[in-house]
Amino acid sequence: PVTTQGSQQTQPPQKHYGITSPISLAAPKETDCILTQKLIETLKPFGVFEEEEELQRRILILGKLNNLVKEWIREISESKNLPQSVIENVGGKIFTFGSYRLGVHTKGADIDALCVAPRHVDRSDFFTSFYDKLKLQEEVKDLRAVEEAFVPVIKLCFDGIEIDILFARLALQTIPEDLDLRDDSLLKNLDIRCIRSLNGCRVTDEILHLVPNIDNFRLTLRAIKLWAKRHNIYSNILGFLGGVSWAMLVARTCQLYPNAIASTLVHKFFLVFSKWEWPNPVLLKQPEECNLNLPVWDPRVNPSDRYHLMPIITPAYPQQNSTYNVSVSTRMVMVEEFKQGLAITDEILLSKAEWSKLFEAPNFFQKYKHYIVLLASAPTEKQRLEWVGLVESKIRILVGSLEKNEFITLAHVNPQSFPAPKENPDKEEFRTMWVIGLVFKKTENSENLSVDLTYDIQSFTDTVYRQAINSKMFEVDMKIAAMHVKRKQLHQLLPNHVLQKKKKVNLEKGVKLTALNDSSLDLSMDSDNSMSTSFLFFFFLFFGRNSPAPAVTAASVTNIQATEVSVPQVNSSESSGGTSSESIPQTATQPAISPPPKPTVSRVVSSTRLVNPPPRSSGNAATSGNAATKIPTPIVGVKRTSSPHKEESPKKTKTEEKTSSTDLSDIPALPANPIPVIKNSIKLRLNR
């Protein structure tokens, strides 16, 4: 619905929202209302609005769950011999938070819920008797308890809707129906797990109370969340922003333009945050001290808080930074996306473009010339889910290491993961793959520049394996692989619809996926015409617990024309233009943006060639190569159900010295593991 806020204009004085005065109190014009209606029509095909019938079904399911909670708490109260007068009014309630509570959930989205119980109900009761009660419900499927999680949770599917239920025990004898969880006094005498569980509801409720108009906020947030997902910058775990962070940025925009409607707010969102002077924090209200001695975000007190690059502070006590995972690279990527979003919405407001342009998905796989591909594999689907979760939670550590390398300008991980081709077609194996785009600094004076990523990869894999073993999750055949891939080789790993571009892949040149097993990826026939004299060598980076040495390593020794390394036009993430009209108080100490780059770690590693490169021609054709294109093309989809290529055996014969039109399909296979092991080495040689 389009809300013009006309009624609010006639009620002076208008309520003040946020920590600063608004930038503009302008009321929406007719053109703004038309643009907002067009925005709604553009959003509909993306499934961001749920049908009324589905919404009513969710309400019904939550009602059933709420009744189950009340019934369970009465049973617990009776078993503990509480007075009948208390039992009759003991209460208990299900609260919701997250996207459902904010009113911006999409079709088929899950529901985040919180079970609030009185003081005589223990957490152990929640994970035993309540769990057993849920198990008896015929509508409940896929019931599982994660009691040892940082925030303990019961996960289930209730009549087709996925629900995560947290638990909090309050220091109250009864739970009234009109309980307001924003009351800070409720946190007194609670254990830390209950405080963490309450935090989601408290933050969500505060956000809704801190925006001038909830309908305008919701529609704007739907648009921004869709834009962020389409542009691959929606992932808290990988160092971008999660749902609550995007909600707080939109809420701050609404505070600065309290009378604006969605079409204007989307534009102002990009205006404000493309010019925001990070690391100044985004605050929806002044932090309050409740004297409960809980740790809060405060760079004046906590030195570690001074190093946060993009602080967005939750409005409920205890205040926390919701973006502590953001790195130099992810902030750089997001600020560049804000700037591009501003340029597009400028065009939309001038009727030079449609809203659909804002939601076009750029092709991540055409954006960079160099990529690191990570693969995680496990022997069963259940183990894969656990293993992938752990690996994904640590990828930001690898990105942080890569971006500190003195020769790397940017390390951009795509939040979307993909099924990977099997290592062995005859073996049951489940593999997941992530892709990290790299931008290398241009060299000016160095003729031969070697970039050694060995230490970065080794540190990452060691961290993952150590945690898996310490948490007793590790199983034999759980593996990680890493390799360096150039843009034109990505088609050998990813489905065609993901790599959609104008030109067809040069399959006629004989580039084939020779193997994704314990040997090599034969990419000697380099189809990248801008790097036609480059030689590519790959080693896989696998190692298992029972292996005396790594089974295979992933590595590459690559010659790169340094003058042609693709550097997207990404400026410093600090503000380069005008400043926002508002004034944000500076923190006591200006946070450091990044530590000084670490020295290159040199290891004595033998460089074993997997393929014999063709002889260099005297005329270096690579010098006339085209720079990498910056123009993205839309991604039609990102899912696939099977590997795009049939696996073949590893090949390493003299036949490989033929030209790029050679058919390699008839080359006989060598015995398994024909390549000497090189432990965790990824080296790139940048030549002028």
Under a CB-based contact definition with an 8 Å cutoff, are residues 668 and 653 in contact? yes
Same domain flag for 389 and 461: yes
Annotated binding-site residue numbers for Mg(2+)? 110, 112, 164
Same domain flag for 68 and 181: yes
Under a CB-based contact definition with an 8 Å cutoff, are residues 241 and 334 in contact? yes
What's the mean pLDDT in 264-278?
A: 97
CA–CA distance, 362 with 381 (Å, rounded to integer) = 31
- Measured in residues, the chain has a length of 688
CA–CA distance, 191 with 294 (Å, rounded to integer) = 11
* Boundary residue ending a domain (313, 330, 358): 358
Amino acid at residue number 623: T
Look at residue 7 in the predicted model and tell me its pLDDT: 42
Annotated binding-site residue numbers for ATP? 97-99, 106, 110-112, 164, 225, 234, 243-244
Q: Cα-Cα-Cα-Cα dihedral of 311, 316, 318, 320, to 10°?
A: -20
Total-model pTM: 0.72
Same domain flag for 194 and 319: no
Write the pLDDT tens digit of every residue in 497-546.
777 654 333 333 333 332 333 322 332 223 333 332 222 223 233 333 33
Q: Residue 517: inside a domain, yes or no?
A: no
Beta bridge partners of 163: 111, 156
List of residues 6+ apart from 639 with CB closer than 8 A: none
Look at residue 477 in the predicted model and tell me its pLDDT: 83
Q: Residue 619: inside a domain, yes or no?
A: no
What's the mean pLDDT in 671-688?
A: 44
Check whether 560 has a pLDDT greater than 90: no
Q: Is the dihedral of CA 44, 49, 51, 54 positive or negative?
A: positive
Q: Which residue has the higher pLDDT, 67 or 639?
A: 67
CA–CA distance, 147 with 193 (Å, rounded to integer) = 11
The Cα-based distances of 194 to 96, 289, 350 in angstroms read 15, 19, 50
Same domain flag for 326 and 426: no
Same domain flag for 324 and 390: no
Catalytic residues: 99, 110, 112, 164, 225, 234
Which run of H or E residues covers position 218? helix 214-230
Write the pLDDT tens digit of every residue in 610-631.
233 334 343 433 333 333 333 3
pLDDT confidence band for 205 (50 / 70 / 90)? very high
Look at residue 110 in the predicted model and tell me its pLDDT: 92
Q: Which residue has the higher pLDDT, 638 or 351?
A: 351
Per the structure block, which two tokens stand in for 35? Answer: 């643009």
Same domain flag for 368 and 260: no
pLDDT confidence band for 258 (50 / 70 / 90)? very high
Under a CB-based contact definition with an 8 Å cutoff, are residues 261 and 2 in contact? yes
Check whether 203 has a pLDDT greater than 70: yes
Same domain flag for 375 and 452: yes
CA angle 281, 283, 286 (to 5 degrees): 120
Look at residue 430 in the predicted model and tell me its pLDDT: 86
Look at residue 447 in the predicted model and tell me its pLDDT: 61
What's the mean pLDDT in 126-138?
A: 95
pLDDT confidence band for 262 (50 / 70 / 90)? very high
How buried is residue 679: exposed, middle or buried, by Cβ count under 10 Å (0-12/13-18/19+)? middle
Domain that holds residue 488: 364-496+675-685
How many CB atoms are located within 10 Å of the residue 161 CB?
20
Same domain flag for 249 and 110: no
How many CB atoms are located within 10 Å of the residue 126 CB?
24
Q: Nearest Cα to 373, choosing from 390, 406, 395?
A: 395
Same domain flag for 133 and 38: no
pLDDT mean across residues, the chain: 75
Look at residue 445 in the predicted model and tell me its pLDDT: 64
- What's the helix, strand, coil split of the chain in %, to 5? 35, 15, 50
Please state the domain count of the chain: 3
